[in-house]
Structure 1
């Protein structure tokens, strides 16, 4: 769930709040390339072999920088990120890792019940504050996961519905409309810019835990990002 950086200001927030057209959003933040190769179009490639290669596999599995702010109260969002990252991953495996060493941390439960059970068994459990996540770094941009067989990088969005109006599904006034959702659009722009270097094979999917956020994204996040609603499956994360 690559963190969305605050951008823009009142103007962007008002544009989103008033349900401006997608094209106006594109012009407002300037994230859409003028020309974009069609899927499978090898016209501009030097050879068919180069065209058919998955350039996204040139990325690396590394601890996220800056460290993801894993806390007990928001851990469900990071669990969801790993669910999406590992849904079709392989041989790569995405997991929590130690924030200092970068080594994977597996088979743990930071819930109160889980920690109590581990204490009874004499097993130690990591504090959430000691955790980071392994992500896919390609072209200087972090993605939550990489599905090698599909040549697809993925991003996961957790609990953002709290920032949307129940009346019309638009971002609430204030912080959500000024920073949270414009930040998502800016993040999409950064990812689109780098995914275009992996065309025509490279693809980008965003998965949304909550249907309300998926609906907003479907009309606000520009292509080639493919938006998908994928419910969260609660489980103890294994890496």
Structure 2
């Protein structure tokens, strides 16, 4: 098998894969008329009243499908998702729910000590594996949250810095470069295509817990996706 020719330390195949994902994202962006990409531009709309309405509110707050894989080991990522989802939400509130019934689960402790204490009090706690999250479903696509007052859907990205190279800030060779980060770009393209029907008022923000991942996204995911570095509140308090 012929060996790949490196380009600045990266193989041609990797560059092609990333370019293909970006091309799909730009194609999704391309379906949005340029005049609609301008904030609040209703010039070409037949009704300014209809144009100024937030069509994203036609979505629904529902349990995520497929179920989000909540585990004790990765719960910090889901806690961060809920932080972002609820940061400017209202009246909608996003949270954990039972994976079978979809009913809210508002108080639980996944630690061994917390579960033992709850059992002593006769208050059995659900395991992380019994949990799911509520998200905003619009246009057949799930978003981590919806900020009604800002006509904005949001997505949160937690601890992904471990998959980036410390040398150049790019995805590490293998799984991260071939699947994980290209999948993010694919996700962005699906979300951009979904909110096209809600333009020109709709906004899409992606929030990143870690500055390293934000830096990658800021140069890899083009507008209209707005990338923001938002630290995890509990992490800041504990620092």
Stretch of structure 1 that moved more, 38-47 or 162-171: 38-47
Q: CA deviation at 1:176?
A: 0.5
The answer to whether residue 158 in structure 2 is matched with residue 162 in structure 1 is: no
Query: Structure 1 pair 25/67, CA: closer, same or farther in 2 (3 Å)?
Result: closer
1:154 and 1:100 map into 2 onto residues whose CA distance is 25
The SS at the match of 2:167 is coil
Question: If the length of structure 1 is used for normalisation, what is the TM-score?
Answer: 0.86
> Which portions of structure 1, spanning 4 or more consecutive aligned residues, are displaced by more than 6 angstroms?
none
Q: CA deviation at 1:195?
A: 1.4
Q: Deviations over 1:92-115 (max 9, x none)?
A: 010111111111100212123322
Corresponding residue of 1:102: 102
**Counterpart among 12, 15, 23 of residue 27 in structure 1:** 23
Q: CA deviation at 1:72?
A: 1.0
The answer to whether residue 58 in structure 2 is matched with residue 61 in structure 1 is: no
Unpaired runs of 5+ in structure 1? 1-9
User: Contact 1:31 / 1:186 at 8 angstroms: preserved in 2?
Assistant: no
User: Contact 2:24 / 2:189 at 8 angstroms: preserved in 1?
Assistant: no
Corresponding residue of 1:208: 208
The answer to whether residue 122 in structure 2 is matched with residue 122 in structure 1 is: yes
Q: CA deviation at 1:39?
A: 1.2
Q: CA deviation at 1:16?
A: 7.4
Q: CA deviation at 1:43?
A: 2.3
How do 1:88-99 and structure 2 match up within 5 A? 88-99=88-99
1:149 and 1:28 map into 2 onto residues whose CA distance is 30
Corresponding residue of 2:75: 75
Corresponding residue of 1:136: 136
Question: If the length of structure 2 is used for normalisation, what is the TM-score?
Answer: 0.86
Unpaired runs of 5+ in structure 2? 1-10
User: Contact 2:28 / 2:190 at 8 angstroms: preserved in 1?
Assistant: yes
2:49 and 2:188 map into 1 onto residues whose CA distance is 29
Query: Structure 1 pair 101/32, CA: closer, same or farther in 2 (3 Å)?
Result: same
More helix by share: 2
Corresponding residue of 1:14: 15
How do 1:163-182 and structure 2 match up within 5 A? 163-182=163-182
Q: CA deviation at 1:191?
A: 0.4
User: Contact 2:98 / 2:132 at 8 angstroms: preserved in 1?
Assistant: yes
Q: Deviations over 1:126-174 (max 9, x none)?
A: 1111111100000100000000111100000011101100011000011
Q: CA deviation at 1:211?
A: 0.5
Query: Structure 1 pair 132/200, CA: closer, same or farther in 2 (3 Å)?
Result: same
The SS at the match of 1:104 is coil
1:122 and 1:234 map into 2 onto residues whose CA distance is 29
